[in-house]
Every structure is written in C-alpha cells, then in structure tokens.
C-alpha cells in the first residue's frame, strides 16, 4: 500500500510495481482526490506482466496484480484513515498487509525570518503525525501478515517511511548548511531541533520509535530517502527521474532484512547519518 500515489514518487512506485517483473499480487494506491489523481489514467492503462506476456506470468508463477485506487482523502484526517483501514482489510483479507509505504508528504518552505507556527504544525501533521496514525490504523493487518515466515522483510511485514536527507541533523552543517533553509520541512522529517519547542516527534525519530515497538511483532520499520527527484516537490533541477529513483527504492525495499530494521537508508541502499 502506497500513500500519496496521485503523482510524483508514489505514482511511480505504483506504476513500477504494476509493470515490473516483481508483482506483489495486490497494490493499494491511495490518493486523497482520485478524481484529480494522475494515477487514474496510468493505472487504467497499465497492463500487468501477465497481460503483456502470459509466458512471463507462467514463468514467475505470480498472481495477477490487482490495482486498487482507494480514496484516502487526507492523511491528516483520522476519520479517513480509519475508513481506509477498514477498506484495506476487505482487500487484503486473511493475508494481511505486507508492506506499507508512507509516502504522502508536503514541503512547506519557510526560513527563519518567515516561518510561522501554523506552517510548522501543518508540515508536522502531514509528514510526521500522519505516518504514525496511518501505521497505527493498519497495525492489525501488518500483524496478520507478520504471523507468516521468519526473519524480517516484505515477505512478512514492513513499514517504509519515505523521509528526506534534508532531515539529517548531521548532514546540515558547514557547506551543506547554505541551501534549503526550510524549517518546517527539515524538522518534520528529521529529529526535532530542541530550540524550536515543537513537541511533536519527527519522521526519522518516529521510524526508530516504531522500530522499537514493533520489533517483537516481526514488523520491519525503517526510513528511506528516495534521492533528489524531479517531481512537483523536487523541482525540475533535481538530478534523478522518478523512474531512476523508484527502481532503486523498490530494489532496496525488496532486499530489506532484519539488519535494516530501525535504519535510515539512502535510495542506493547506503546507510545515512541521522
């Protein structure tokens, strides 16, 4: 299940999963406004590997992927999260949910001079609080999937938080501290910077907190930076295309094991400093 699949990286994840050689069986793409989502058109046109090539399907012995576009109106609305969790339950049924990708996010740009409390809270709500609430609502389905198998990874259950290198405290210093002075976004992804007095846990720390609490359930939790990518958020000057980023992101996700539990990885698979 991928949140924020209407455009950008979320849309690319869904398209790549639907058309690539690895079929997860069921793909649940959520968009807050499916009528506007770009995902409607590509998904209708997407052909599963088996539709394109029955041989491939037979060889891989994979079931037909099912593409579901589910309306998760706002990841910041508890009602819509709970409604979505019920519908996801009816889609996955006894198998449970193997992989939740918390991808939906916003980038509120404001520097020290211009930032307001409302901007900070808006960015925290979408990027930090919502992934926690979405994961909590889907926990029974993740637990169900995690009852099968040993070790950790998407063969059991995993929560992937799409975070940002801009949230790394260690990397925001010296030469690197002259760019992207975005208080709301950097702090919503990275650990809270104490002087800001914001008592909401940020996404990177949240990933570690969930990793501590869900370890005994066998549910892998980690934070993943997708690279700087040409999307509405990343802008046209970003070096990576969505295809380049997501092909690597999906390969990293597919290879996650217990050694990655609680970690913060670059889209190349390299560990990043917190």
The contact set with ligand NDP (CB under 6 A) reads: 4, 6-10, 32-33, 74-76, 103-106, 126, 162, 164, 225-226, 228-229, 231-234, 238
- Give the shortest CB-205-to-ligand NDP separation in angstroms: 16
Question: Cβ closer to ligand NDP: 5 or 145?
Answer: 5
Question: Cβ closer to ligand NDP: 70 or 193?
Answer: 70
Question: Cβ closer to ligand NDP: 50 or 68?
Answer: 68
> What DSSP string runs through 99-157?
EEEE---------TTT--HHHHHHHHIIIIIHHHHHHHHHHHHHHHHHTSSSSSBTTTE
- Give the shortest CB-234-to-ligand NDP separation in angstroms: 3
Q: Is 235 left (phi over 0), alpha (psi -120 to 50) or beta?
A: left
Question: Cβ closer to ligand NDP: 152 or 249?
Answer: 249
Q: Which residues pair with 67 in a beta bridge?
A: 27
CA distance 31 to 75: 9
Question: Cβ closer to ligand NDP: 60 or 106?
Answer: 106
- Give the shortest CB-37-to-ligand NDP separation in angstroms: 6
Residue pair 272/226 in contact (Cβ under 8 Å)? The answer is: no
The dihedrals phi and psi of 42, each to the nearest 5 degrees, come to: -60, -40
- Give the shortest CB-171-to-ligand NDP separation in angstroms: 13
> What DSSP string runs through 29-54?
EEES-TTT-TTHHHHHH---HHHH-H
- Give the shortest CB-165-to-ligand NDP separation in angstroms: 7
């Amino acid at each position: 299940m991928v949140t924020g699949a209407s455009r950008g990286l979320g849309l690319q994840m869904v398209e790549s999963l639907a058309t690539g050689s690895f079929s997860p069986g069921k793909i649940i793409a959520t968009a807050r406004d499916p009528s506007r989502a770009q995902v409607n058109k590509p998904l209708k046109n997407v052909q599963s590997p088996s539709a394109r090539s029955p041989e491939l399907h037979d060889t891989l012995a994979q079931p037909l992927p099912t593409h579901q576009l589910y309306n998760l109106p706002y990841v910041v609305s508890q009602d819509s999260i709970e409604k979505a969790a019920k519908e996801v339950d009816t889609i996955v049924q006894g198998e449970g949910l193997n992989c939740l990708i918390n991808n939906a996010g916003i980038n509120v740009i404001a520097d020290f001079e211009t930032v307001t409390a409302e901007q900070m809270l808006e960015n925290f709500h979408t990027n930090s609080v919502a992934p926690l609430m979405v994961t909590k609502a889907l926990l029974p389905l993740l637990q169900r999937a995690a009852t099968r198998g040993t070790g950790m990874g998407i063969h059991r259950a995993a929560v992937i938080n799409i975070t940002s290198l801009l949230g790394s405290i260690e990397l925001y210093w010296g030469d690197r501290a002259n760019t992207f002075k975005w208080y709301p976004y950097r702090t919503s992804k990275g650990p809270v910077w104490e002087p800001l007095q914001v008592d909401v846990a940020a996404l990177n720390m949240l990933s570690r907190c969930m990793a501590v609490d869900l370890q005994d359930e066998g549910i892998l939790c980690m934070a993943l930076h997708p690279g700087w990518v040409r999307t509405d958020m990343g802008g046209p000057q970003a070096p990576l295309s969505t295809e380049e980023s997501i092909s690597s992101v999906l390969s990293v996700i597919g290879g996650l094991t217990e050694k990655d539990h609680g970690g913060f990885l670059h889209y190349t698979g390299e560990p990043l400093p917190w």
